[in-house]
Homo-oligomer: A and B are copies of this chain.
Amino acid sequence: MTAIKESSTIQENKQYALEKCPVTFVMEKIGGYWKPIILYQLSTGHKRYSELKRAIPAVTEKMLIQHLKQLEADGLVIREAKPVVPPFVTYRLSKAGEGLIPVIEAVASWAFKMKDGVFDVESLE
C-alpha cells in the first residue's frame, strides 16, 4: 500500500466529501475498478481465492489480493483459511458486505435496462 501524501489536494477533497456526501463515502469503500466486480462475485456466495481468479480472468493477482485485503480491512469481506497444504482460503461477504447486495442488484438491474434500451423508448429524453 503506497504512502499517502497528506497535503495532496485530492486527499483534502476526499476528506470533505466523506463528511458531506454519503455517495462519496461509499465510493471510498467500493470505488476503484475491481472492487465492485469482486463484491459482485462474492454476492452469490463464498469463493476460494483461486475461484475468484478464474471468475475474473482479467484481474491480475496483485490487484485481486490487494483489493481483497482492503475489503477485509474495511470489514466488508471475511477471509477464512484452513491450515492445510496446499492452502485453502475462502472469502465471503460480512454482514456489512451483505448490506451492499441491494446496491449491487440496483446497479445490475440498471445495466440490464440500459442494454435492453428501456430508457430510450421515447426520443432521447
Q: Could you tell me which A residues sit within 8 Å of B by CB distance?
A: 10, 12-13, 16-17, 21-27, 31, 33, 36-37, 39-40, 57-59, 75, 78, 94-96, 99-100, 102-115, 118-120, 122, 124-125
Contact = CB atoms under 8 A, between A and B. Distances in A.
Given A22-B111, A40-B23, A13 B58 contact: yes
B114 A110 contact: no
Nearest to A103: B106
B124 A75 contact: yes
Contacts of A27: 33, 36
A122 B94 CA distance: 11
Given A94-B125, A96-B119, A107 B23 contact: yes
Closest 5 CB pairs of A and B: A22-B111, A96-B119, A13-B58, A22-B108, A103-B106
A125 B78 contact: yes
B78 A96 contact: no
Given A13-B58, A24-B36, A78-B125, A102 B110 contact: yes
Contacts of A119: 75, 94-96, 99
